[in-house]
Structure 1
Amino acid sequence: MQPLLVTGFGAFGSVANNPTEQIACALDGMHLADGRRIVGAVLPVSAARAPGELDALLAAHDPIAVVLTGVDERATHLKLETRAANELAFRIADNDGVVRDGEAVIEGAAAALASSLPLEAIESALLRAAVAHARSNDAGRYLCNLVFFHLRATRPALPGGFVHVPPLETWPVAHTQSAIRLVAEATNAALAPVHV
Structure 2
Amino acid sequence: MRILLTAFVPFGGDSLNSAQEAVKLVPGRVDDADILKLFVPVVFCKSVDAVVSAIEREKPDAVLCIGQAGGRTAITPERVAINIDDARIPDNEGNQPVDSPIATDGPDAYFSRLPIKTMVQRMSDAGIPASISNSAGTFVCNHLMYGVINHYPDLMCGFMHVPYMDGQGSPSLAVDVIAAGIVESIMAILEVL
Q: Which residue of 1 aligns with 2:71?
A: 74
Whole-Å separation in 1 of the counterparts to 2:111 and 2:133: 11
Unaligned regions of 5+ residues in structure 2, if any?
A: 167-171
Q: How many residues align?
A: 188
- Tell me the CA shift for residue 121 of structure 1: 2.0
| Whole-angstrom distance in 1 between the partners of 2:50 and 2:148 | 11
1:175 aligns with 2:177: yes
User: Is the partner of 1:101 in helix, strand or coil?
Assistant: coil
Matched residue, 2:157: 160
Offset from partner CA, 1:102-149 (integer Å, 9 cap, x none): 101111100011001012321221122121111111100000000000
Aligned to 2:15: 16
> Once structures 1 and 2 are overlaid, which stretch shifts more, 135-144 or 120-129?
120-129
Q: Which consecutive unaligned segments of at least 5 residues does structure 1 have?
A: 192-196
1:132 aligns with 129
TM-score (norm 2): 0.93
Letter in 1 for 2:16: N
1:39-188 mapped onto 2 (5 Å cutoff): 39-169=36-166, 170-188=172-190
Structure 1 stretches of 4+ with a deviation exceeding 2 A read 23-27
Alignment TM-score, normalising by the size of structure 1 = 0.92
Q: Match of 2:169?
A: none
Amino acid at match of 1:172: A
**Distance across 2 between alignment mates of 1:102 and 1:86:** 10
The letter of the residue matching 1:25 is K
The whole-number CA distance in structure 1 between the counterparts of 2:156 and 2:144 is 14
What fraction of aligned residue pairs are identical, expressed as a percent? Answer: 24
Distance 2:7 2:140 in 1: 11
Measure the CA separation in 1 of the matches of 2:160 and 2:114.
10
Residue in structure 1 matched with residue 31 of structure 2 by the alignment = 33
Q: Is the 8 A contact 1:5 1:65 kept in 2?
A: yes
Q: Is the CA contact (8 Å cut-off) linking 2:25 and 2:176 kept in structure 1?
A: no
What CA distance in whole angstroms lies between the structure 2 residues aligned with 1:124 and 1:73?
22
Q: CA deviation at 1:48?
A: 2.8
CA RMSD, aligned part only?
1.2
Query: Matches of 1:80 and 1:50 in 2, distance apart?
Result: 19
